[in-house]
């Protein structure tokens, strides 16, 4: 079986032995725990450390929710929701909502915003369905999911009573600390633990990602298997030049040093759009600190060629592009002949859309290279659980190595706190009296 393959032939970077050595040292830090943020390295071995009994327990609880609810609301923000959302979108039929028959519960997300309209419309829509909730917060104190959970908890309790609510609500949180842990213990919710050494954005291969995916009917075993393929391939045992995550880290750091400050992750498959959202959090939060870091952006092609294509081709030359290239589609659709041929496209008659899409990809790659945008390619055989597992672990490992090569701690996010302090001060949270006065004077 072919694994996710990284290709930097069009990056313009010539990889030297010194660069390989630096990447090997960065990779070693992830394995020997001697780098910054070394108390957050639990993700490195998540695929190989998850046991059959842990997977069985995830599937048992998932089956329980599947049996009870038509709609399962997954509550969380940042690393506590993006991984599940990304894999779910990638694995789902793009038009699931139009299908009359649903074999799996519908998963919807809440707690990743505080929009009143979003929340109202969600609660309103839920009235027509039997429901359950998975609430995910490592700290157990994050405001956005806590607000959403209050509403969902009240709704579930008022519909089904407290005892049944404890069968329909599952908590995923810290093993000992935080308001959610306290509540889950008090109410008797089934609970999964986010280990102390696994940060939110690196948690998709823990119950944080696996439980919602299992509820949605995704083959979580194949997903973990895929990640394990990549854990092995990117381990210290593999020569660094054969480690695709290390090669990716080297090339993006070299491009950054050469003034390419923005990396655009693109793909020609719309169902990978949320993989890019997940990737943006992973790289943005891991590397954007100490006044450094590549700004991660994303496009979905060919759609965005008609919006961002102009800028990429001819705007500021601070960009490089990384394309997730999917080799095989799942289905076959061919262009129809048309007698009138008014659009002049009869020359495409009988061609598969995947072939046309591939030519678009190759044509765009060459045009962008000609326009001064280096191009990196991550090739995957197809979109399935195993390959997506490989891809996500590839990005995680690439991020850890890249962050260390950049000289930052890729596992903290001190900058995320600044907005919270201001928001609490503006909302008059007890304990924020001084900040409240100061901030209101600035308005
Ligand atoms: O990557 C991270 O650590 C963050 O994005 C968190 O996942 C996010 O802030 C949510 O935190 P919590 O799970 O504690 O509610």
Domain boundaries, the chain: 103-218, 243-336+349-411, 413-443
pLDDT at residue number 404: 98
Domains 103-218 and 243-336+349-411 fall in the same CATH topology: yes
Give per-residue pLDDT as tens, 43-100: 999 999 999 999 999 999 999 999 999 999 999 999 999 999 999 999 999 998 888 8
Cα 284 to ligand 1 centroid, rounded to whole Å: 13
Within 10 angstroms of residue 157's Cβ, the number of other Cβ atoms is 17
Give per-residue pLDDT as tens, 308-323: 999 999 999 999 999 9
Per-residue confidence at 140, pLDDT binned at 50, 70, 90?
confident
pLDDT at residue number 281: 98
Q: Is the CB of 143 inside a 6 Å radius of any atom of ligand 1?
A: no
pLDDT at residue number 97: 86
Give per-residue pLDDT as tens, 154-188: 999 999 999 999 999 999 999 999 999 999 999 99
Q: Is the CB of 201 inside a 6 Å radius of any atom of ligand 1?
A: yes
**Average pLDDT value for residue range 30-41:** 98
Q: Does the pLDDT value for residue 396 go beyond 90?
A: yes
Q: Domain 243-336+349-411: which CATH class?
A: alpha beta
Specify whether the CB–CB gap between 81 and 111 falls below 8 A.
yes
Q: Does the pLDDT value for residue 1 go beyond 80?
A: no
Which residues, including other chains, have CB under 8 Å from residue 13's CB and lie 6 or more apart? 250, 251, 254, 255, 374
Residues forming the active site: 285, 306, 420
Q: What element of type H or E holds 172?
A: strand 169-173
Residue 282 tokens read as 């992973």
Cα 79 to ligand 1 centroid, rounded to whole Å: 5
Q: Which residues of 238-248 are buried (b: 16+ CB within 10 A; e: fewer)?
A: eebeebbbbbb
Distance CA(41)–CA(416), nearest Å, equals 20
Cα 413 to ligand 1 centroid, rounded to whole Å: 9
Q: How far apart are the first and last CA of the chain?
A: 59
**Average pLDDT value for residue range 117-145:** 96
Per-residue confidence at 40, pLDDT binned at 50, 70, 90?
very high
Distance CA(28)–CA(20), nearest Å, equals 12
Give per-residue pLDDT as tens, 257-277: 999 999 999 999 999 999 999
Specify whether the CB–CB gap between 102 and 71 falls below 8 A.
no
Nearest atom (ligand 1) to Cα of 139: 14
For the segment(s) 103-218, the CATH number from 1.20.120.450, 3.40.50.10490, 3.30.2020.30, 3.40.50.300 is 3.40.50.10490
pLDDT at residue number 100: 81
Rg of the chain's alpha carbons, rounded to an integer?
23
Distance CA(294)–CA(286), nearest Å, equals 10
Q: Does the pLDDT value for residue 417 go beyond 90?
A: no
Mutate to test the pocket of ligand 1, among 142, 204, 288, 403 (most ligand atoms within 8 A of CB): 142
Q: Does the pLDDT value for residue 227 go beyond 80?
A: yes
Q: Phi and psi dihedrals of 414, rounded to 5?
A: -60, -30
Percent of the chain with pLDDT over 70: 100
Nearest protein Cα to ligand 1, atom 3: 200
Nearest atom (ligand 1) to Cα of 208: 13
Per-residue confidence at 2, pLDDT binned at 50, 70, 90?
confident
Per-residue confidence at 101, pLDDT binned at 50, 70, 90?
confident
pLDDT at residue number 141: 87
pLDDT at residue number 99: 87
């Amino acid at each position: 079986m072919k694994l996710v393959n990284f290709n930097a032939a069009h990056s313009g970077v010539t990889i030297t032995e010194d660069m390989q050595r630096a990447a090997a040292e960065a990779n070693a830090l992830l394995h020997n725990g001697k780098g910054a943020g070394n108390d957050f390295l639990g993700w490195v071995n998540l695929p190989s450390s998850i046991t059959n009994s842990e997977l069985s327990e995830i599937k048992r609880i998932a089956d329980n929710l599947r049996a009870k609810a038509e709609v399962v609301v997954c509550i969380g923000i940042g690393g506590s929701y993006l991984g599940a959302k990304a894999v779910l979108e990638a694995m789902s039929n793009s038009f699931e909502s139009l299908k009359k028959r649903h074999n799996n519960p519908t998963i919807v997300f809440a707690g990743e915003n505080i929009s009143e309209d979003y929340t109202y419309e969600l609660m309103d829509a839920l009235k027509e369905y039997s429901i359950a909730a998975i609430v995910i917060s490592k700290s157990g104190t994050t405001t956005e999911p806590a607000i959403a959970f209050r509403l969902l908890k009240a709704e579930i309790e008022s519909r089904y009573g407290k005892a049944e609510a404890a069968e329909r609500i599952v908590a995923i949180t810290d093993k000992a600390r935080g308001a959610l842990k306290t509540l889950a213990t008090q109410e008797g919710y089934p609970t999964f633990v986010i280990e102390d050494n696994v940060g939110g954005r690196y948690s998709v291969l823990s119950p944080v990602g696996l439980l919602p995916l299992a509820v949605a009917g995704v083959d979580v075993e194949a997903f973990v298997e895929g990640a394990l393929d990549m854990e092995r391939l990117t381990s210290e045992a593999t020569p660094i030049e054969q480690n695709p995550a290390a090669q990716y880290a080297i090339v993006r750091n070299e491009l950054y040093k050469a003034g390419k400050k923005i990396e655009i992750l693109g793909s020609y498959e719309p169902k990978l759009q949320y993989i890019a959202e997940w990737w943006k959090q992973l790289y943005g939060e891991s590397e954007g600190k100490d006044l450094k870091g590549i700004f991660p952006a994303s496009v979905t092609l060919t759609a965005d060629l008609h919006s961002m294509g102009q800028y990429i081709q001819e705007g500021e030359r601070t960009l490089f592009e990384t394309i997730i290239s999917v080799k095989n589609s799942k289905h076959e659709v061919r262009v129809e002949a048309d007698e009138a041929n008014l659009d002049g496209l009869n020359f495409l008659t009988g061609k598969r859309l995947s072939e046309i899409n591939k030519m678009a990809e190759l044509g765009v790659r060459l045009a962008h290279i000609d326009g001064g945008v280096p191009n990196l390619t991550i090739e995957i055989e197809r979109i399935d659980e195993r390959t997506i597992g490989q891809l996500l672990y590839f990005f995680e490992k690439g991020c850890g190595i890249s962050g260390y090569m950049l000289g930052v701690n890729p596992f903290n996010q001190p900058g995320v706190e600044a907005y919270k302090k201001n928001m609490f001060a503006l909302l008059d949270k007890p304990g924020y009296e001084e900040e409240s006065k100061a901030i209101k004077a600035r308005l």
